[in-house]
Amino acid sequence: VELDDAVPVLAEADPATTLVWTLTDGIAYFRGGASPALARLNGLRTIGADDSLFALCQDKFRCGAVLGALGLPVPQAGLARNGEWLVEPPASPKGWFVKPKRLGAKIGIWPDSRITDLGHALELSRRVFSHYRDDVVVQPYVAGRNVRASFLGLKPETGIEALGIFFVDSGGDFQT
């Protein structure tokens, strides 16, 4: 089903015979991100992540807080909206990286997103808010390679062979 037609099609779908694969690119505002919620509202079974997990994973600030609470190492972060700090960022001798809270695919990341001045972080938060109505996460800059990992296991016994790990060279030293 094309995404533009999903609402009426899912509203008429038979819950006994319909399975919705909730797959999207992870951008909160991307219309495909609504598929888990549409399935739930229509009483349809799903395969893939449910709507609450989509909502959490599409929010970099909350996701980091949850992972940190679970004991995983994540960089501390500040949060700003339209030029105002909601949460002040930690000190960082190597500077910071500013990225939209709920966007993906490098949307809202500019050549000046790596900063050394927190005043510029607030300027970037105004820019992101103006363009996308989103907040920004401000984290200490961590140098390194951009790595993407994905796992798609179609059978319960699927093992490590289904794990894909890729180095991404996007032409810049910007980590998302």
Q: What is the pLDDT of residues 63-99, one digit of tens each?
A: 999 999 999 999 899 999 999 999 999 999 999 999 9
In this structure, is residue 97 part of a structural domain? yes
pLDDT tens for each residue of 45-54: 988 776 777 7
List, in order, residues 6 or more apart from 157 with CB less than 8 Å away: none
One domain, residues 84 and 114: yes
Mean pLDDT on 95-122: 92
Instruction: Tell me how far apart the alpha carbons of residues 129 and 100 are, in angstroms, rounded to a whole number.
Output: 9
pLDDT-based confidence at residue 31 (cuts at 50, 70, 90): low
Q: Is the confidence at residue 155, as pLDDT, over 70? A: yes
In this structure, is residue 65 part of a structural domain? no
One domain, residues 132 and 107: yes
Write the single-letter amino acid at 152. Answer: L
One domain, residues 51 and 77: no
Q: Is the confidence at residue 144, as pLDDT, over 60? A: yes
One domain, residues 23 and 50: yes
What are 33's two structure tokens? 């991100």
Q: What is the DSSP string of the chain?
A: --GGGHHHHHHT--TTT-EEEE-----TTSGGGGHHHHHHHTT-EEEE--HHHHHHHT-HHHHHHHHHHTT------EEEETTEEEEPPPP-TT-EEEEESS--TTTT--TT-EES-HHHHHHHHHHHHHHHS--EEEEE---S-EEEEEE--SSTT--GGGEEEEEE--SS----
The pLDDT score that the predictor gives to residue 145 is 77
Range of the domain at 11: 3-57
What are 50's two structure tokens? 């449910």
Nearest by Cα to 79 from 64, 58, 93, 94: 64
* Least confident span in 6-10, 53-57, 100-104: 53-57
Count of domains observed in the chain: 2
In this structure, is residue 155 part of a structural domain? no
What are 164's two structure tokens? 């894909």
Tokens 């000046």 belong to which residue? Answer: 112
* Least confident span in 11-15, 77-81, 96-100, 150-154: 150-154
